[in-house]
Amino acid sequence: MLKDITIGQYIPGSSPLHKMHAPLKIILTILYITVLFFVDSPVSYAIFTVYTVALVLISGVPLKVLLRGVKPMLWIFIFTAILNVFMTPGEIIWSLPIFRFTLKITNEGLAAGVTMAVRLLYLIMGTSLLTLTTSPLQLTDGIEKLLKPLRKIKVPSHEIAMMMTIAIRFIPTLAEETDKIKKAQTARGADFETGNIIKRAKAMIPLLVPLFISAFRRADDLATAMEARCYNGGDNRTRMKESHMTALDVKAIVISILAAAVVLLAEFWT
Amino acid sequence: MIKAENVNYIYQKGTPFERQALFDINLEIADGSLVALIGHTGSGKSTLIQLFNALVKPTSGRILVDGIDVTAQKADLRLIRRMVGLVFQYPEHQLFEETVYKDIAFGPTNMGLSEKEIDERVRKSAALVGLKEKHLERSPFDLSGGQKRRAAIAGVLAMEPKVLILDEPTAGLDPKGRDDILNTIKRLHEENSDMIIIFVSHSMEDVAKTAERVIVMNEGRIETEGSVAEVFTQAERLQRIGLNVPQITLLTDKLRNAGFNLPEEIYTVKYAAKAIAALVGGDGNA
């Protein structure tokens, strides 16, 4: 159950997407998302779809893995689609009176529902591509580099990146710990599976208290270990492996901007 | 009695991570035994003990505890967990209540016992592990490491299981804490004549001092089993699978090879002292 957590899951590979400079990849993902929110017409959607499919193919990430990240969002999809389908005013194509309300589907609503669902799907796929092709270390490194200019206004960019690295690193550890405590309490007759919501919530206490305590203990140990090795934050800290922009990254910039331009042109000129 | 019949266990079956942890385990443990389970990391010990109280189910084969099939599809899990108490590694990490008393009462409360019965059991099991009355009203997090562990063990004992399984009960404790736990195990064994106690250990000294029978696991199979003497006289075999015999046995083996006439089955310091004293003429008070 807990092994299915996909946050920070990284599929190692050697595709161009894997090799890209991480900060740039983050910026280009943001560009991807921004363009996605301008896309509305069928033509630009078609172009955007081609672009997305191309990215997925280049990345070499199995479609199955990509869709696994979409699965937990399924309810949000359905919910958004339904709200859009029924709530958008316009040309009515089907209606059903219930008491004082009338349930109606409009042409515009149908279009908006589909558009929103596809937009959400691409949003998740785009960001999943980023996390699936970038190791957590590279990712936080990239975020740190992007936040660096903000140091001038006292944003602790290195500390933020370090916190994220540690948080991601400890997800599997905590998942394992949860599993262990759950088993131990089950052996003492705890029941996590049956009963109503309140009973189940109460049943979580024997699980959560030890979990929190162990998380704090780990944090404490880690802090001590880091201090013992004279760790003191970002100032003047260098890296063993510096990542730099390469010709590949320049190509990626050109392609991304071109793709964005084409999509936006298609959107606003037609 | 615990009986395992042709038990196989495969982790994450049907995925690329598939790995067989147990191969065709056949086992019989009689009532009242005090058994040590030893083996290298990854030899399947932890998997095996989790099978005994149905926390995990075997891929094939069955396990009977007192004639009840704990591996059956419709097994009564509540009953099984009452019969087989499992103390995990570092059990103090599962403490969660405000007071030691409440924490020990967690198991019996889940069993749905009356308040009076729960109270009796809490006090009895606390006394069994050597916790004093004054400890009961304290927060479990204010106890020392050894006390915490004993409180956690009391939590399982309060369910009055017929079978008590402890996974590395002495791991990470100081010598005093170790001895306390081992003495508790011995005392439990002496006072409950038909309780089965199984403990997993990496310390051959602990095994030699405490257990009566030893089961040796290696790569998911039972390598050998028998009395402490029977197992520890197979030093070579144990060393081949990455285990060892107690250090004192290694020492007396060397002495014997050097020409001293010492018996073969020496595995505790006490016994070694006596044997050496008998040889050189002294009283053997080590």
**pLDDT tens profile B37-77:** 998 888 889 899 999 988 888 999 999 998 889 888 888 88
Domain boundaries, position B189: 2-245
Among chain A residues, the shortest Cα distance to B78 is held by A189
Say yes or no: B27 and B45 in one domain. Answer: yes
Residue B161: closest C-alpha in chain A: A188
- Residues B231 and B250 both lie in one domain: no
> Which residue among B55, B93, B95 sits closest to A187, beta carbon to beta carbon?
B55
The structural domain count of chain A equals: 1
Please give the residue range of the domain that contains residue A69: 2-134+245-269
In terms of pTM, does the model score above 0.95? no
Banded model confidence at residue B182, pLDDT cuts 50, 70, 90: very high
Instruction: Give domain status of residue A253, yes or no.
Output: yes
pLDDT for B261 equals 84
Q: Which of A187, A190, A206 sits opposite B86 (nearest CB)?
A: A187
Residue A7: band (very low, low, confident or very high) from pLDDT cuts 50, 70, 90: low
**Does the ipTM exceed 0.85?**
no
Whether B164 shows a pLDDT value over 90: the answer reads: yes
Q: Does residue A191 belong to any structural domain of this protein?
A: no
Are residues B259 and B145 both part of a single domain?
no
Per-residue confidence (pLDDT) for residue B213, from 0 to 100: 93
- AA letter at A57: L
* pLDDT for residue B121: 94
Chain B within 8 Å of A176 (Cβ-Cβ)? no
Cβ-defined contact of B93 to A183 (cutoff 8 Å): no
Structure confidence at residue B244 (pLDDT): 81
Task: Kindly report the average pLDDT of chain A as a whole number.
Answer: 84
**What token pair was written down for B236?**
């070579």
| pLDDT value at residue B198 | 95
pLDDT tens track for B96-107: 999 999 999 999
pLDDT digits (tens, 9 = 90+) for B194-241: 999 999 998 888 898 899 999 999 999 999 999 988 888 888 888 888
Number of domains in chain B: 2
Q: Are both B193 and B282 inside the same structural domain? A: no
Average pLDDT taken over every residue of chain B: 89
**pLDDT tens-digit profile of A148-157?**
888 888 888 8
Of A183, A188, A213, the CB nearest to B107: A188
User: Smallest CA–CA separation between A167 and chain B, in Å?
Assistant: 21
- Tokens standing for A112? 């908006």
Residue A261 has pLDDT above 60, yes or no: yes
> Does residue A55 belong to any structural domain of this protein?
yes
Rounded CA-CA distance B6/B63 in Å is 9
Q: Is A122 contained in some domain?
A: yes
- Are B32 and B159 in a shared domain? yes
pLDDT at A137 over 90: no
What DSSP letter does each residue of B130-153 carry, written as one string?
Answer: T--HHHHTS-GGGS-HHHHHHHHH
Give me the CATH number covering residue B65.
3.40.50.300
Any CB–CB contact under 8 A between B93 and chain A? yes
pLDDT at A102 (0 to 100) = 72
Mean pLDDT of the region A213-234 = 89
Q: Which pLDDT value is given to residue B284?
A: 58
B123: left (phi over 0), alpha (psi -120 to 50) or beta: alpha
Do B236 and B278 share a structural domain?
A: no
**pLDDT surpassing 90 at residue B257:** no
- Note the pLDDT of residue B25: 92
B83 and B215 in a single domain? The answer is: yes
Q: What percent of chain B is modeled with pLDDT above 90?
A: 52
Measure in Å the smallest separation between the Cα of A225 and chain B Cα atoms: 19
More confident residue, B235 or A32: A32
Tell me whether A172 touches chain B (CB under 8 Å). Answer: no
**Any B CB within 8 A of A214 CB:** yes
- B145 in reach of chain A (CB within 8 A): no
The conformation of residue B176, written as its DSSP 8-state character, comes to H
**Which contiguous run of DSSP H or E holds residue A184?**
helix A157-187
Residues of chain B with Cβ-Cβ distance to A184 below 8 Å are 86, 88, 91, 93-94
List chain B residues with CB under 8 Å of A11.
none
CB contact under 8 A, B88 and A184: yes
Is the minimum CB–CB distance between A41 and chain B shorter than 8 Å?
no
CA A249 to CA A18: how far, in whole Å? 11
Q: Residue A171 falls within a domain, yes or no?
A: no
Q: A57 at the B interface (CB within 8 A)?
A: no
CB neighbour list of residue B79: distance below 8 Å, 6 or more residues apart: B68
With bands split at pLDDT 50, 70 and 90, how would you rate the model's confidence at B16?
Answer: low
**Contact by Cβ (8 Å): B244, B201:** no
Split at pLDDT 50, 70, 90, the class of A231 is confident
Same domain membership, residue B136 and residue B59: yes
**Considering chain A, what percentage of its residues have pLDDT values greater than 70?**
96
Residue in A closest to B165 by C-alpha? A187
Closest residue on chain A to B110 (Cα) = A189
Percentage of residues in chain B having pLDDT higher than 70: 97
Helix and strand numbers (H, E) in chain B are 12, 10
B214 touches chain A (CB under 8 A): no
A117-129: pLDDT as tens digits = 888 889 888 888 8
- Rounded Cα–Cα distance for residues B34 and A232 (Å): 52
Q: Residue B158's beta-bridge partner residues?
A: none
CB-facing half-sphere around the CA of A128: CA atoms within 13 A: 24
Selection from A5-14, A59-68, B2-11, B271-280 with the highest mean pLDDT: B2-11
- A192 and A182 in contact (C-beta within 8 Å)? yes
Chains A & B: contacts with CB separation below 8 Å? 55
The pLDDT assigned to A207 comes to 92
The four Cα atoms A17, A18, A21, A23 give a dihedral, to 10 degrees, of: 80
Over 90: is that where the pLDDT of B193 sits?
no
Contact (CB, 8 A) for A252 and A59: no
Please give the residue that has the higher pLDDT: either B167 or A235: B167
Report the pLDDT averaged over residues B172-179.
Answer: 88
Whether residue B133 is found in the same domain as residue B8? yes
pLDDT of residue A1: 42
A191 touches A207 (CB < 8 A): no
Residues B58 and B124 in one domain: yes
Same domain, B278 and B159: no
Q: What is the DSSP letter of B165?
A: E
Q: Is residue A15 situated within a structural domain?
A: yes
| Residues of chain B contacting A182 with CB distance shorter than 8 Å | none
The answer to whether the Cβ–Cβ distance between B107 and A189 falls below 8 Å is yes
Q: Best of A179, A182, A188 to disrupt the B interface by mutation (most B CBs within 10 Å)?
A: A188
**B259 and B171 within one domain:** no
CA distance A208 to chain B (A): 9
Which tokens in the block code for residue B26? 């056949």
